[in-house]
Structure 1
Amino acid sequence: MSTQRWTDLGPRMLSASVLIVISLIAVWLGGIWWRGLISLFCGVMVWELVNMVDTNRRRSARILALVAGGCALASIQLPAPLELFALPLLLLPSMAGFGQMERGGVTYAVFTAMILLAGYGIMALRAEFGLVWMLWLTSVVVITDVAGYFIGRAIGGPKLWPRVSPKKTWSGAVAGWVGAALVGIAFMNVSQVGIGLVGVSIAISMASQIGDMAESTVKRRAGVKDSSNLLPGHGGLLDRFDGMLGAALFLLIAGQIVDFPPGLQ
């Protein structure tokens, strides 16, 4: 087995450890701490997105990042009578960016909407369902990524989408689903919900992989390896949280269709 497969493991683990510690503290505290961190992350990811799709818009990237972060925070802070005004707030950064972009406007608008909606979903999940279910979502996404990384590189095999993401394999993808199912079983036992949580966990795992591949498509079109160089071994926040964006957005939509948590006893 070639050691070159694991050359980025050290920096990846260090960056991931720092992010995990910061995120765990914020999610434990909840409230404005969690909302502030997620809003900050949304702003940074929009900044990375603008710099990827249109490299001549450095100033616009900063402005749109501030708008995105502000809208994300404002959307979750609205009182009950005004909560539906969160919807235009979440789409405002996408609309504001059209006139600022020389190229990549549609890609920017779609992904910015995805970032803001997913960010809102993550903040709402913590506020409405509590710490346990936020930890469940995070665990599913993390185990999908970790299992995909280690099993995919150890076993190899057929590529999932070689034209866009040559390192992703079917073995890694399936390992992620198995890991997600185990997370679902673990949380099913401690939270007294039904077996349906296992199915939801696998679907969340798939959604996180779709988010990962969607971001890889943007990078491929932009001709860049990473969304930025903020995180050693990972690239940028968008590289690190692309899976969480897909998972949170899927949960936000699926939660309108099926009961969540499923089969709560």
Structure 2
Amino acid sequence: MSDAGRWSDLGPRFGVGALIAVVGLICVWLGGLPFLALTVLISGVMVWELVRMLDPEAPAVVLACAAGLALTIADLLPAGYALPLVLAPIFVGVGQLGQRRATYSIFTLAILLAGFGMYSLRENYGAVWMMWLALVVIATDVMGYFAGRFIGGPKMWPRVSPKKTWSGTIAGWIGAAIVALFFVLYTGANAQLLGVAVALSMASQIGDIAESAVKRRAGVKDSSSLLPGHGGLFDRFDGMLGASVLMLMSARLIDFPPGLTAAQ
């Protein structure tokens, strides 16, 4: 591939990515209803894209709206009451899809847990740590993108994700650790944060690979064409999907933020 071809998607990818980052960081900083609206919108659109890939005959808009409504109510309730609402759209979809119901169930659960987890992280830990999570995922994606193209080398899993290289994968871990090091130096968290960041980087890459597997099975290149240079929201937020679910599952286990919780 020529140099021009290798970098042909960089302009649209960078422009759209920058716009998404600006909107996202503003909503993270504001918190409350703006961030709630953002997480619900992203989650609903991702469910819409998922359904369209798995079963074009299924009512994708209806299922997306059901997921968004359930997530909105869940975010406004205590966690114990919220959990059944996070699961409810799965049962609605199972009754509507004619095929690939298991894939729908697993990914819809992950999408709604990620949306719920991001909102909970912002509400419970503040804008700084929600930005930390976002920056870990962004660093993983950016470092992986450039290392994969500059260094190249062996493919990680060519059958599922033909462009993903081991060099890009490892560079993503390094990028996440650099972000964590900055936060260790300026927040007072201890060095365990580096390990957490690398684990979240790995989870984001797993989310990326899992979404690639769904697209390959569905026979599509992108989840949709909403975002020039990126495909759909599912293509853009698959990494955040994996990282957010792991963060939600492990926050209490690792006493997050490490080194700060015990001092409070």
TM-score normalised by structure 1 residue count: 0.96
CA distance in 2, matches of 1:262, 1:25: 26
| Cα displacement (A) at 1:2 | 2.5
SS in 1 for 2:162: strand
Q: Paired residue for 2:241?
A: 245
Mapping of residues 178-257 of structure 1, within 5 Å? 178-257=174-253
Give the Cα–Cα distance (whole angstroms) in 1 for the partners of residues 141 and 149 of structure 2.
Answer: 12
Structure 1 consecutive aligned stretches of length 4 or more whose deviation exceeds 3 Å:
none
- In 2, Cα distance between the equivalents of 1:203 and 1:158? 22
Q: Deviations over 1:134-187 (max 9, x none)?
A: 110000000000000001111100101100001000000000011111111000
Map of 1:68 onto structure 2 = 67
- Indicate the residue corresponding to 1:90 in structure 2: 86
Percent of aligned pairs with the same residue? 56
Aligned residue number for residue 120 of structure 1: 116
Read off the aligned partner of 2:61 and give its amino acid letter.
R
Indicate the residue corresponding to 2:7 in structure 1.
6
CA distance in 2, matches of 1:192, 1:2: 43
Distance of 1:165 and 1:17 partners within structure 2:
24
Give 2:56's aligned residue.
Answer: 55
> Structure 1 unaligned runs (5+)?
none
Residue type of the alignment partner of 2:181: I
The secondary structure found in structure 2 opposite 1:163 is coil
- Determine the C-alpha separation between the residues in 1 that align with 2:108 and 2:177: 30
Residue 45 of structure 1 corresponds to 46
Aligned to 1:174: 170
Partner of 2:25: 24
SS of 2:56 mapped into structure 1: coil
How many Å apart are 1:73 and its aligned residue? 1.1
Q: Say whether 1:100 aligns with 2:96.
A: yes
Query: What is aligned with 2:16?
Result: 15
- Alignment pair present for 1:77 and 2:76: yes
Q: 2:152 aligned with 1:151, yes or no?
A: no
Rounded Cα–Cα distance in structure 2 between residues aligned with 1:228 and 1:150:
24
Deviation at 1:133, TM superposition (A): 0.2
Q: What is the CA deviation profile of residues 91-143 of structure 1, one whole-angstrom value per residue up to 9, with x for unaligned ones?
A: 11111100100111111111000000011000000000001101100000000
Structure 1 residue 85: Cα displacement: 1.4
Separation in structure 2 between the aligned mates of residue 254 and residue 37 of structure 1, nearest angstrom: 23
Deviation at 1:256?
Answer: 3.4
How many Å separate the matches in 2 of 1:113 and 1:252? 13
Matched letter for residue 62 of structure 1: V
Following superposition, the deviation at residue 17 of structure 1 comes to 1.4
The TM-score, its normalising length taken from structure 2, stands at 0.97
Unmatched segments (≥5 aa) in structure 2: none
Aligned partner letter, 1:183: V
- Following superposition, the deviation at residue 3 of structure 1 comes to 2.3
Q: Secondary structure at the match of 2:163?
A: strand
Task: Give the count of matched residue pairs.
Answer: 260
Aligned to 1:136: 132
User: Quick one: distance in 1 between partners of 2:251 and 2:27?
Assistant: 24
